[in-house]
Amino acid sequence: MRQSLPPLNWLRAFESAARHLNFTHAADELNLTQAAVSQQVKGLEMRLGAALFKRLPRGLELSEAGQAYLPAVHEAIERLSAATDEIFGQGHRKVLTVRVNLVFFIHWLAMRLPEFRRLHPDINLHITSNIWVGDTDVEADLEIRHGQGKWAGLKADRLTWDCLVPVCSPSLATEQKPLNTPGDLARHQLLHVLGYEEGWGYWLKKAGADRVDSSQGLQFDTLISALRMAELGQGVALARSSLVEHMLDQGALIAPFEQRFTTQEAFYLVYSPLAMANPQAVAFIAWLVSQAQAVHLEN
């Protein structure tokens, strides 16, 4: 039958006395009296049925049992102390959890986060990802979503003002399959993203290319996947302008058509009004909204 664990204060007294090989120094470390440390160690020895120290005229020496027991007790106390500090320590309240639409994080937020870290080095960010709109993650302080900007009971600050932009690899268009007009899309694979209200059907109608079959092609549940396939020359993706400007500038993608149509959907920073009581959340909200406004004014 497994023996029950001794009281933690007894173990702490033993561990400290074993490190110092001195009850008085252990008492100073633990803010106890020398007599209290000695009594707790004696209680532990009685519980275990073995002497942990050899009491010598000029100090202490660990017994064989004490030498065998000390590493396990020391490691356990160190791990417990580290976990307590990480979860409940002084820095705990400075952890800010932000749940982010993954494509927005990769193609917009990630490149800007170093600036926030420079301005607010004392705020520890915990970034988690989402795919599509669902119930608010109760463990997240803030969330970045894509949609129309209306979620019951939540505040929503707009972050993007997008146009719908067909994009593809520079190598996709050939003499046999040019991409000079929207009608040329009939000879290319369309890369669809599920969940967006304004997709290929909407863009083709606005571009006057109704004869192109908007249902053909591949379907994905994230824009990340569609953009990657476009990079690999596997079709034409319908991107949101705020997410691909850097890829267009770098030449990883091209936008073969002049037609760009404004979308009513956007990325929003979404949060409960109660989040404004958290100074770390307030700092992140102010920074992110100012970044978004600056990008909007540039464009």
Report DSSP letters for 174-222, one per residue.
-SSS--SSGGGGGGS-EEEETT-SS-HHHHHHHTT-TTS-TT-SEEESS
What angle separates helix 64-88 from helix 8-20, to the nearest 10 degrees? Answer: 120
Please give the pLDDT value at position 296.
Answer: 84
Rounded (5°) CA angle 19-24-27? 80
Confidence of residue 137 (pLDDT cuts 50, 70, 90): very low
Question: What pTM, to 2 d.p., does this model score?
Answer: 0.68
Q: How confident is the model at residue 87 (pLDDT cuts 50, 70, 90)?
A: low
Return the structure tokens found at 273: 């009004």
- Percent pLDDT > 90 in the chain is 75
User: What are the structural domains of the chain?
Assistant: 8-88 (1.10.10.10), 92-161+265-298 (3.40.190.10), 163-262 (3.40.190.10)
Q: What distance in Å separates the CA atoms of residue 12 and residue 15, rounded to the nearest whole number? A: 5
Report d(CA 213, CA 232) in Å as an integer.
22
At residue 89, the pLDDT reads 62
List pLDDT tens digits, range 20-51: 999 999 999 999 999 999 999 999 999 999 99
Residue 1 scores a pLDDT above 60? no
Q: What confidence tier does 251 reach under pLDDT thresholds 50, 70, 90?
A: very high
Phi, psi of 43, deg, nearest 5:
-65, -40
Q: Does an H or E element contain 281, and which?
A: helix 279-298
Tell me the backbone φ, ψ of residue 80, rounded to 5 degrees: -65, -40
Q: Which residue has the higher pLDDT, 65 or 197?
A: 65
Q: What is the pLDDT of residue 57?
A: 83
* Contact assessment for residue 159 and residue 292, using Cβ atoms and an 8 Å cutoff: yes
- In this prediction, residues 57-75 reach a mean pLDDT of 91
pLDDT band for position 267 (cuts 50, 70, 90): very high
Q: Is 232 exposed, middle or buried, given 0-12, 13-18 or 19+ CB atoms closer than 10 A?
A: exposed
Q: For CA atoms 194, 198, 201, 204, give the dihedral sign.
A: negative
